[in-house]
Chain A
Amino acid sequence: MPRPDKVAQIPKPEQIFFFKSCVASNKYPGIESCGWDSLEILGVQPVDSDEQTCCGGFVTFANVAAPTASMPAVARNLSLAEEKNLDTCVLCNGCWTFLNEFGHFMNHNEEVKGSVNMMMNMMGREYKGTSNVYHIAEMYYRLKDDIAKNVKRPLKGVKVATHYGCHYLGGGKYTAIDDAQMPTYMEELIEIMGGTVVPYTANRECCGTGFTQIINGKDLSLEHTQHKLDSVKEADPDLLIVQCPYCHSQLDRVQQQLNYRQAAAYETPVIHITQLVGLALGLAVPKLAFAAHISGRKRLEDVLDRIGR
């Protein structure tokens, strides 16, 4: 169950700094466009900056960059939002946990913050630690009344399963809005938009990307994802909702790889929570960018036919 005290702490700002994600921009552009447009419809104006880079989480957890290299990169990205006096809204669980945890670490270590600021000052920036980082899914949960008012395309009769991913709930044990073991806020959002929630056994299991395991330990990664996909297939949802673009990429692309390697038949469309909200809020079909998806394209078209294009 969501924690009401945590939800109440999330503000409803007029503007928010929109932090883009690498996977969302370059592999699934629908996440970015739907995130932007849905926030606009819900009355929060996203603000962009072309100076924002990747959060640096991947290179850090691939051990290419030591924390000394990634702390300033985090501070730089957060200082972009601080310059505008805004909070940050991220699309990806990885960005959320990385910006949040390293930001928290710097805020509570004066020594580290000082040395990071020395580097920041060289390029004319300063890290103060005033910008909070919010995940777009928790923003949606905060704005759920506005979503209910604006539903143009109810998801009537669409069976939806959820996958929360690890780094938002697991890493943010005390900062996330929901319990790490039995989260329900996405289910609530789906019901608000008129969909039917389909439970399945392996809901809280990891997608299997494991940051670098998909590259270095591919056998482990595929075995784990297959376990997850088997469970999803048993429940047979029309859509599988994720809130992390990296889970999205893994669950979408590995289906095709498993079909090729083992002659399996996994055909579940995977879409991001921003795309589901965009679908319900009645965004135009090209805005949803389902053309970039690989698995279950036919089923996605069926869903679109049923609820109206």
Chain B
Amino acid sequence: MLEQVKDWDDDFYEKFKPIAMGFVNEAEKCLQCGKCTGQCPAAAVTPSYNPRKIIRDLVNGNLKRVFSSVELWQCFFCSGCYSVCPMDINFPFFVFMFRLAAMNEGYGWEDVKQLEGYAEKDYLKKGITVSTFERNPEAMETVGDISKIRMAAGLPPERKVSDRGLAEINMISDLSGMTSFMKKIGGVELLDCKTCDDAQMKRCKNKPLPAKVGKIKTKLRFYNYGEPGGKAHAEA
């Protein structure tokens, strides 16, 4: 996507700051030194991902380019960019707030939908985000029953969160709008190899881009920051 002068918005950064609750600030301090990109694990595998360019576009107000990019969704959240930054810009928080803003514009919902199940089925139902359920059959065979291992280690067979704790996080979720948000994007269908039928297997091999996630229409994302890298693209 070519960059055009009319894409730029001088006040975008100033407008964005209050919405971002103080997570996105001091971006104008950026020296464009590129240390963040130099040590970035995502940039090592996909050369088109470039934190420096994303910060530049934030300050210039070229928001269309940031929001519609695939690169925004490639961050590993490792905080390495923050640890080397001479101006202490906490870039992972930028990505975090940018993703929320991009979702507001209709991008990236198909990624978020895949993760919604962890919140709905595990975090809110059991209070623990990672369940004992094993999606990999080989791992399941090797490990066996985790509750037996827990008991041998002198722990209760299952870690349980008390009912009061569960009620409280559900209340927080209702009050802060997380529940209604999850309803909006609809339930999830997580594929696993044990109960997979033929139709699901076909979809697993060549996953189509869903045009709609729940009630929200999704938009196509582009590689806006150069040629995509990575082994898959190098071979093609």
Cα(A50)–Cα(B160), bound, Å: 7
A112 partner residues in chain B, CB cutoff 8 A: 21
Name the prevailing secondary structure of the A interface residues: helix
* B226 CB–A CB distance under 8 Å: no
User: Which one of B54-62, B168-176, B208-216 contacts A?
Assistant: B168-176
Is A67 in contact with B45, judged by CB distance below 8 angstroms?
no
A291 partner residues in chain B, CB cutoff 8 A: 143-144, 149, 152
* B32 CB–A CB distance under 8 Å: no
B22 to chain A, nearest CB (A): 6
User: Which one of A149-157, A210-218, A264-272 contacts B?
Assistant: A210-218
A205 to chain B, nearest CB (A): 6
Is B146 in contact with A20, judged by CB distance below 8 angstroms?
no
* A2 CB–B CB distance under 8 Å: no
Task: Point out the residue from A22, A56, A171, A287 that lies within 8 Å of B154, measured CB to CB.
Answer: A287
B residues 164-202 touching A (CB-CB < 8 Å): 164-166, 168-169, 171-173, 175-178, 181-182
Task: Point out the residue from B76, B82, B146, B230 that lies within 8 Å of A29, measured CB to CB.
Answer: B146
Is B114 in contact with A216, judged by CB distance below 8 angstroms?
yes
B169 partner residues in chain A, CB cutoff 8 A: 53, 73, 76
Is A109 in contact with B22, judged by CB distance below 8 angstroms?
yes
Is B176 in contact with A72, judged by CB distance below 8 angstroms?
yes
Cα(A64)–Cα(B117), bound, Å: 9
* B44 CB–A CB distance under 8 Å: yes
B149 partner residues in chain A, CB cutoff 8 A: 29-30, 289, 291-292
* A299 CB–B CB distance under 8 Å: no
Is A224 in contact with B118, judged by CB distance below 8 angstroms?
no
By beta carbon, the residue of chain A nearest B81 is A170
Is A212 in contact with B153, judged by CB distance below 8 angstroms?
no
Is B172 in contact with A25, judged by CB distance below 8 angstroms?
no
Cα(A287)–Cα(B154), bound, Å: 7
A288 partner residues in chain B, CB cutoff 8 A: 153
* B6 CB–A CB distance under 8 Å: no
A260 partner residues in chain B, CB cutoff 8 A: 138
A41 partner residues in chain B, CB cutoff 8 A: none
Cα(A215)–Cα(B117), bound, Å: 12
A223-B230, A256-B138 in contact; A26/B153 too (CB < 8 A)? no
Contact with B along A248-262 (1 / 0, CB 8 A): 000001001100100
Is B143 in contact with A294, judged by CB distance below 8 angstroms?
yes
* B223 CB–A CB distance under 8 Å: no
Task: Point out the residue from B46, B84, B115 that lies within 8 Å of A220, measured CB to CB.
Answer: B46
Residue from B75, B132, B169 with most neighbouring chain A CB atoms (10 Å):
B169
Is A123 in contact with B168, judged by CB distance below 8 angstroms?
yes
- Chain A interface size, as a band, is 35 or more
* A84 CB–B CB distance under 8 Å: no
Contact with A along B142-161 (1 / 0, CB 8 A): 11101001101111000111
Is A223 in contact with B231, judged by CB distance below 8 angstroms?
yes
Cα(A65)–Cα(B176), bound, Å: 9
Task: Point out the residue from A173, A181, A211, A220 that lies within 8 Å of B77, measured CB to CB.
Answer: A211
Is A23 in contact with B118, judged by CB distance below 8 angstroms?
no
Residue from B78, B116, B160, B231 with most neighbouring chain A CB atoms (10 Å):
B78
A26-B146, A205-B41 in contact; A50/B118 too (CB < 8 A)? no
B162 partner residues in chain A, CB cutoff 8 A: 50-51
Task: Point out the residue from B115, B138, B159 that lies within 8 Å of A212, measured CB to CB.
Answer: B115
A167 partner residues in chain B, CB cutoff 8 A: 78-79
B31 to chain A, nearest CB (A): 17
Cα(A109)–Cα(B144), bound, Å: 47
Is B100 in contact with A66, judged by CB distance below 8 angstroms?
yes
B90 to chain A, nearest CB (A): 8
* A286 CB–B CB distance under 8 Å: yes
Cα(A286)–Cα(B155), bound, Å: 11
Cα(A54)–Cα(B96), bound, Å: 19
B115 partner residues in chain A, CB cutoff 8 A: 59, 62-64, 212, 215-216
A residues with a Cβ closer than 8 A to B are: 20, 22-23, 25-27, 29-30, 32-33, 37, 50-54, 56, 58-69, 72-73, 76, 97, 105, 109, 112, 119, 122-123, 166-167, 169-171, 173, 180-181, 205-206, 208-213, 215-217, 219-220, 223-224, 227, 253, 256-257, 260, 286-289, 291-292, 294, 297
10 nearest A-B residue pairs (beta carbon): A210-B76, A170-B79, A166-B78, A62-B115, A180-B83, A69-B176, A53-B127, A51-B165, A33-B153, A69-B178
List 11 A–B pairs whose Cβ atoms lie within 8 Å, in order of A's numbering: A22-B130, A26-B128, A29-B150, A30-B149, A53-B169, A66-B100, A169-B83, A171-B92, A286-B152, A292-B143, A294-B142
Given contacts A54-B128, A212-B115, 20 further A-B contacts (CB under 8 A): A30-B153, A33-B153, A51-B165, A66-B181, A105-B23, A123-B168, A173-B82, A180-B84, A210-B42, A210-B78, A213-B42, A215-B115, A216-B73, A220-B45, A220-B46, A223-B230, A223-B231, A256-B142, A257-B136, A291-B144
